[in-house]
Structure 1
């Protein structure tokens, strides 16, 4: 660009040329994206025709601007049929009491349990890593004898730490049944994972949200590629010319 300007006898600083090119590139990309968004609905129509089990919904305003987009591929629907009918509500204590009250009305028989990961972290913060190490052992065992041994070791480190764990009611530790079973020992079959964090943490690449984002990104890439093949790369140069104005022998970046 600098050499071309010199050949034409035009003097311009590197900063002026950089700003002009940057603005032209940004405007070209923005217009390309705007044109691509207009093709998404047509793409979704073809997507649904080729994937009959999928559900696709898109809403646009009077100017054909996309307002919302919802996609549920058929493979996800079939996968949901094999999922456990369990609704996991994570972090209810962070949403104040309104959410808990609503949950009690909608699901009065809901089983409330404590997240073992959060228990271990809270214990580590309050009583140290040495005690938290035994908490992990306690959370992972299904043996009454091993549970009692872990509690004995915890007592030897901190009596307050043991009391903190004992204050958690027995039914909030169990995951062997969704209803209380009085025949089970208090520390038998305790909760070992947080379902929500486990799903999004251990299998983040396969989570529904990431999958939806990947589908949208793929759609946008294909649409942009087709748009570029249709109009050619010279569009960028034409956009660049609009942002360069020759005034005497100086090239200025247009506002």
Structure 2
């Protein structure tokens, strides 16, 4: 009986929520094959979150078998927003992913649009994948060829642990996080000497899919591809699966209804939490303030003839009060340290440029996605 109600439910949802995409597809035997839902608010949500979207699939756990596809984003305040989902009879294969991503692209065009706020440091959304599923990778290349996609560093580390030993896990974690090219080379040399198998595994994976240092080596990454905003794993997907976990236990109708309720509750909660407030989301303010204060002792000078490159001298401590020299190009959101490119926000040296050269205040530097005003959905 529940399957007979899926069609009327989806149709009623679309009618009562103008602008939403919600439909059901039947097979030649008239049985339900696929259901896709993307509420009308989802496309607007994409303008108010960090530009990383997590894509994941999971199987339903009830006798009514199916695959649940989810697309989720995360705000600066760490609020989860599932923006679209589907339930299909497909497995997690190329055809299933291709269909889901095609519907997602049609329903949420902001995924491939340049951000309407020109002062944002990114252009297009980056896709974070929970695993390196070949079907998903190929489908993304077909549907979102201009968007960058990254792999979960935790999954890569776990694979190394399982196949080559736990003692190499810390090396893999360090490889994913470092923005120092000398440190990256040293870590790879160390890994090659101790475990040639683990070395081959990690070097066979495109560095620009999981290593922060890739933003220094691959000139194609900035500014064409948006940064990962510090995301190195698929915690968004895992948290979303926990959020909608109960919905996977019932029939398709219960699953659709349960997920939509969770989505609506999260939007309502965020609106209530930030209503009437202004300024920077609390969870991000501490990180930004720390970098802002750390740049106090830096010295900034224009360098080169292009008028866009600046040298930043930063004290690195020690009895001799040595200084490190790094160069920044604010127009491209690039620094020699690599952190500006990787996290999508000014590093200490970028902050030094804005503070000492431009005489800006901290609030002038902040990306719009961390300002509470962006939550007025």
TM-score scaled to structure 1, two decimals? Answer: 0.43
Structure with larger RCO (C-alpha < 8 A, sep 6+): 1
Structure with the higher helix share, 1 or 2: 1
More strand by share: 2
